[in-house]
Amino acid sequence: MLVARISLSELRPGPHRHPYDEIQFIREGRGVWTVNGKTFEGGAGDIFVIKAGEVHSFKAVGDSPLVQLDVHLSPASSKRTSNRSLITLAITRLSH
């Protein structure tokens, strides 16, 4: 069984890491990402895969908000959900 959680966020995440992979689908706007000390820009249509343990942060740039769908693949959470896989979906909308 697959369990999905969906949340909406307008937080500006500072540098952080997860013990699982994260996939970010950029829907609108532009942003700047820093992953393991390397900084790069991305925008609508881009897909980023951030591997488990990589320190990362991002922020919106430009005139329009950054809107992205973040998929958190968390097998470690399956222990809390009776051996079910857990995927958390977070829709992030950031303005600068």
**Does 7 have pLDDT greater than 70?**
no
pLDDT of residue 72: 84
Domain count, the chain: 1
**Does 87 have pLDDT greater than 70?**
no
Q: How far apart are CA 28 and CA 35, in angstroms?
A: 20
Name the strand (E) or helix (H) holding 37. Answer: none
Mean pLDDT, range 36-48, rounded to an integer: 94
CATH of the domain at 9: 2.60.120.10
pLDDT of residue 76: 54
Domain range enclosing 51:
2-94
In the chain, pLDDT over 90 holds for what percent of residues?
36
Chain centroid offset of residue 7 CA:
12
pLDDT of residue 2: 41
